[in-house]
Structure 1
Amino acid sequence: MERKQMNFMWALVPIIVMIAAMGVAVIKLEQDPHVPLIIGTATAALVAYRFGAKWHDIEQWMYKGITMALPAVVIIMLVGLTIGAWVGGGIIASMIYYGLQILNPTFFLVTIVLICGIVALMTGTSWGTMGTVGIAAMGIGMSMGIPAAMVAGAVISGSYFGDKMSPLSDTTNLAAGLTGTDLFEHIKNMLYTTIPGLIITLITFGILGFKFKTDKIQSNEIDGILTTLNEQFVISPWLLLIPLLVIILVAKKVPAIPALLIGVILGFIAQITVQGGSLLDAVNVLHNGYSMDSGNAMVDELFDERGGLFSMMYTVSMTIVAMTFGGILEFSGILQVLVGKLLKYVKSVGGLITSTIATAFATNATCSEQYISIVVPSRMFVKAYEDKGLHSKNLSRALEDGGTLTSVFVPWNTCGVFIFGVLGVSAFEYAPYAILNFVVPIISIIFAYTGFTIAKLSKEEVAAIQAQREEV
């Protein structure tokens, strides 16, 4: 059967069906997003078939989508192992124990944004930061009486600031590489939107932090938590060397997988040698997570059923299901049709950049993968930016502002699912507090319409692009 040109209305059908199914299942019935995504995948397959795609092609598109997510799946499983090993080894307990004694509740949220930002900047990974420092921050903040959603927002804001601005970050390199922009020129250009966003974030969390003054914290509750931690774990500052080593390894450009694996092994050894656990207990924690019944409700909430490979299977299954949907949308041409329609109505520079950010967010919502939200719009918009005489760093910045940062707001996106699995807070809860992630896209749109920091191509660069097109 010959492939036919797909029209806009048919391309819109899978999106409408998926959103409607998601609204019923997730919002009304309060169920997981897996089934709505499967319904969306089936609809996209039928639409593609309607326009001449063979089942073999559709199957391959789903496999390609899943293949794109396999690196993320491996990281997700390793993070689950890391959490289990670090909880069982007393590493997380030691971080919380000393954090409760050092950090001031009034400035806790600001401090966490800065710490997570520095760690993610050094390592280039928001996921690694949230899966290590973020977990400890959640424990400390909740122990201080700060709402979990608020702490999660601070962790996410800091982690994504560092990830976005790090030359080691995969998304940063991806956005620069796909648009043909020098990496450090791309990072420098992002400072214009990201630094104001960080300042607004710190001021906001500083104001929120004053609600949690020291005198409002029940010192007897903190003492109870510290006592329970001492009873349940061997607390030692030496255990903090394990996460420090992992951070140093990644900062030294050791790939994330072997670096995390070293952290898992050291945590596993710590559970046996330092905590006195048996080999059977340590292996069980890696698979099923850590179990605790200390009698202290707060401590049990922090540590019981935490980590382990099995705890990440929800996230893994969500990632695989989401990427089957994203794969069909990407490789069948459905997304290209939708974006092509959008470009017909874009007349100004402000409209073009706003459309890029909106498309990146829409791709996050429909394809459920952060990387696709950078890959697809970069392909779709690159010529439009050149035609308007805009430097490629405008496009690369818009891709990061609209794609990298907004991925956390979609509960069924791999980033939203990962955060829920690691921090235990859903996207609907932490969204108002992921301040940097929604402030930066707004700043980017404002700059687009005012022309502030929008770089234009020189005459020589325009001539070089035209000559290259003629040669092709």
Structure 2
Amino acid sequence: MKKEMKFSIAIIPLVVMIVVMAITVIKLEQGPHIPLIVGTIVAALVAWRSGFKWKEIEEAMYKGIRLALPAVVIIMLIGLTIGAWIGGGIVATMIYFGLKMITPSLFLVTMVIICAVVSLAIGSSWSTMGTIGVAGMGIGLSMGIPAPMVAGAIISGAYFGDKMSPLSDTTNLASGLTNTDLFVHIRHMLFTTIPAFVITLIVFAILGRNFGENRIDSTKIDQTVQVLQDSFVLSPFLLIIPVLVIVLVAKKVPAIPALIVGITLGFLAQIVVQGDSISEAVSALQSGYVIDTGNKMVDDLFNRGGLDSMMYTVSMAIVAMTFGGILENTGMLEAIVKQILKVAKSAKGLVVSTVVSCFATNASCSEQYISIIIPSRMYAKAYREKGLHSKNLSRALEDGGTLTSVFIPWNTCGVFIFGTLGVHAFEYAPYAVLNFTVPLISIIFAITGLTMTKWTESEIIALQKEEEAKLNG
């Protein structure tokens, strides 16, 4: 006999998953997939012991996977876009003109902007920090700027792009798992992210005044610019492609058609502008762009993209949603959320709880993706019951999940940054201005009600019909 889940029982799979995640990611330095599978097995056993039949448990997993499918499609298109845009010289052109902006007096501000531009172009904070960030650290240190300060500027810029780029996997996960249109999600994030970005620029402009008189060592930048000129046909006309995608977004064209346009034009640019063969252009779409310039920074940045590169994220989303599907459809999440909602009784308290839960998940699960996936399923129903539009949830997930991952030294993001930039999380934390300002603004908006949007009655009816059709189809 099935019975209502008790909190003490429902929490078991989550606790087991967190413990196994901590051991696997921190101690064994492996990925999050296996801990999620272990959590799924424990959740299935708990559900079975609570009276659920195996067919019901299996269907619960499939329901979870179905909810992830829109995000999976977008993520695969992102891989194609990155491959096409790198092969077509679009990313190289954006980086080239970005590097030309560097000036000694505004180095920190410039690093924020360049990292933001690059991350927006490629949708990856890690690739940005591992390439432009590494060069920026060397230049900043040669100017006598403290390493934590330079790292903070790089991280702030990189995560602005990671959060706001339609090519970012975390951005697509947050929108897809909450059933929010990708560009509706991005536009709603502007309210918390743009003010934080402005504050970030002001802070680094003030800090940078102390170092403006130092001479900049531009050797690394000159080398990078030269390699880009030697390896790609660089033209401002190539910037028309990302601009066109932005225009399509502004015209409210759905994400998939807009991305397909960008992919097609990038593919053609690689053949027509860069002079590559059709075979090479197809290869860039499938397995990513390949280049060997002898410049490690350039090679690391441009050897990426393609459909194959997204299979890690796709498989993780599917595995995570089997876990989330059992928790949600057997009443375990409901039992957990009931305990949380005893504290978060209002809409404002719900958003604050979401942001805090995302940070707590980053700390306990040590993985940025999980901080979006698990809370997205925990709070979806509560947001609906309080009449809050799903874009409020998707924004809170990114504000509290994507950005706060850098503050946890044992989180994969904190570990990556330490290994790449050579600065510990506790050292750069005060200078990662964007990353702590956005969650604070998000909480302030929740408390004051600013930019909080509610569903209209017609939207709720339409959404219910759409979800029923997905689950039954």
| Distance of 2:241 and 2:339 partners within structure 1 | 52
> Counterpart in 1 of 2:318?
320
User: What residue in structure 1 maps to residue 382 of structure 2?
Assistant: 380
Contact 2:124–2:158 (8 Å) recurs in 1? no
Residues 186-265 of structure 1 mapped to structure 2, 5 A cutoff: 197-206=196-205, 215=214, 217-265=216-264
Looking at structure 1, the residues matched to 339 and 380 of structure 2 have their Cα atoms a distance apart, in angstroms, of: 16
Q: Quote how far apart the aligned CAs of 1:8 are.
A: 1.3
Partner of 1:3: 2
Within a 5 Å distance, the mapping from 1:67-466 to structure 2 comes to 67-104=66-103, 107=106, 110=109, 131=123, 142-144=134-136, 145=139, 150-157=153-160, 160=163, 197-206=196-205, 215=214, 217-303=216-302, 305-344=303-342, 354-359=352-357, 368=370, 370=372, 373=375, 376-377=378-379, 379-380=381-382, 399=393, 402-408=396-402, 409=404, 432=429, 435-443=433-441
Output one character per residue of 1:376-409: Cα deviation in whole Å (capped at 9) or x when no partner: 42533777x7xxxxxx67x989746642312314
Residues 22 and 81 of structure 1: CA distance in aligned 2, closer, same or farther (over 3 Å): same
Cα offsets for 1:260-281 (capped at 9, x unmatched)? 1111111111111111111111
Q: Deviations over 1:284-315 (max 9, x none)?
A: 11111122221222222222x21111111111
Structure 2, unaligned stretches of length 5 or more?
A: 141-149, 167-171, 452-473
Distance in 2 of aligned mates of 1:91 and 1:15: 43
SS of residue in 1 equivalent to 2:244: helix
User: Which residue of 2 is the match for residue 17 of structure 1?
Assistant: 16
In structure 2, the CA distance between the partners of 1:324 and 1:187, relative to structure 1 (3 Å rule), is closer
Q: Could you tell me whether the CA contact under 8 Å between 2:129 and 2:420 is conserved in 1? A: no
User: Alpha-carbon deviation of 1:218?
Assistant: 2.4
Q: Summarize the Cα distance change of 1:292–1:187 in structure 2 as closer, same or farther, 3 Å threshold.
A: closer
Q: 1:327 to 1:227 in 2, by over 3 A?
A: same
The answer to whether residue 68 in structure 2 is matched with residue 66 in structure 1 is no
In 1, distance between residues paired with 2:257 and 2:346? 47
Counterpart in the other structure of 1:35: 34
Shift of 1:200: 3.9
Quote the Cα distance in structure 2 between the aligned partners of 1:187 and 1:287: 32
AA matched with 2:382:
M
Encode CA deviations 1:247-267: one digit per residue, 9 max, x unaligned: 111111111111111111111
What RMSD over aligned residues (CA atoms) do the two structures have, in Å? 4.7
Query: Do 2:245 and 2:262's aligned partners in 1 also have CA atoms closer than 8 Å?
Result: yes
Take 1:51 and 1:379, find their aligned partners in 2: how far apart are those partners? 22
Q: Match for 2:399: what amino acid?
A: L
Question: In the alignment, is the contact (CA less than 8 A) between 1:242 and 1:267 conserved in 2?
Answer: yes
The code of the aligned residue for 2:95 comes to: I
Tell me, yes or no, if the aligned pair for 1:290 and 1:306 is still in contact at 8 Å: yes
Deviation at 1:101, TM superposition (A): 1.4
Q: For the residues of structure 1 that align with 2:253 and 2:8, how far apart are their CA atoms?
A: 47
Matched residue pairs, number? 418
Cα displacement (A) at 1:26 = 0.2
Kindly provide the amino acid, as one letter, of the partner of residue 332 in structure 1: T
1:197/1:91 Cα in 2 relative to 1: closer, same or farther (>3 Å)? closer
Q: 1:43 to 1:362 in 2, by over 3 A?
A: farther
What is the Cα deviation at residue 148 of structure 1? 7.4
How far the C-alpha of 1:62 sits from its partner, in A, is: 1.3
Identity over aligned pairs, percent? 48
2: CA distance between counterparts of 1:378 and 1:453? 19
Conserved 8 A contact 1:80-1:309: yes
Structure-2 separation of matches of 1:239 and 1:350? 44
Separation in 1, partners of 2:177, 2:66: 17
- Cα separation, partners in 2 of 1:86 and 1:453, compared to 1, 3 Å: closer
CA distance in 1, matches of 2:313, 2:380: 27
Q: Secondary structure at 2:100's aligned position in 1? A: helix
Q: Aligned-pair distance for 1:351?
A: 6.4
- Residues 41-60 of structure 1: CA distance to partner in whole angstroms, max 9, x if unpaired? 11111111111111112111
Quick check: 1:116–1:159 contact (8 Å CA) kept in 2? no
Residues 288 and 453 (structure 1), Cα distance of their counterparts in 2 relative to 1, 3 Å cut: closer
Give the Å deviation of 1:357: 3.9
Q: 2:102, 2:396 → 1: CA distance?
A: 33
Question: Is the contact between residue 65 and residue 321 of structure 2 (CA under 8 Å) also seen in structure 1?
Answer: yes
Confirm or deny: 8 A CA contact 1:374 1:399 kept in the other structure: yes
Counterpart of 1:102 in 2: which secondary structure? coil
Does structure 2 conserve the Cα–Cα contact (< 8 Å) formed by 1:137 and 1:155?
Answer: yes
User: Which string of whole-angstrom CA distances, capped at 9 and with x for unpartnered residues, describes residues 417-454 of structure 1?
Assistant: 99x99xx989x979947644433434555788xx7669
- Is 1:76–1:316's contact at 8 Å kept on the other side of the alignment? yes
Does the CA contact (< 8 Å) of 1:447 and 1:453 recur in 2?
Answer: yes
In structure 2, the CA distance between the partners of 1:92 and 1:402, relative to structure 1 (3 Å rule), is: closer
**TM-score in terms of structure 1 length:** 0.71
Amino acid in structure 2 at the alignment position of 1:324:
T
Shift of 1:373: 3.5
Query: Bigger shift: 19-28 or 359-368?
Result: 359-368
Give the C-alpha shift of residue 370 in structure 1. 3.9
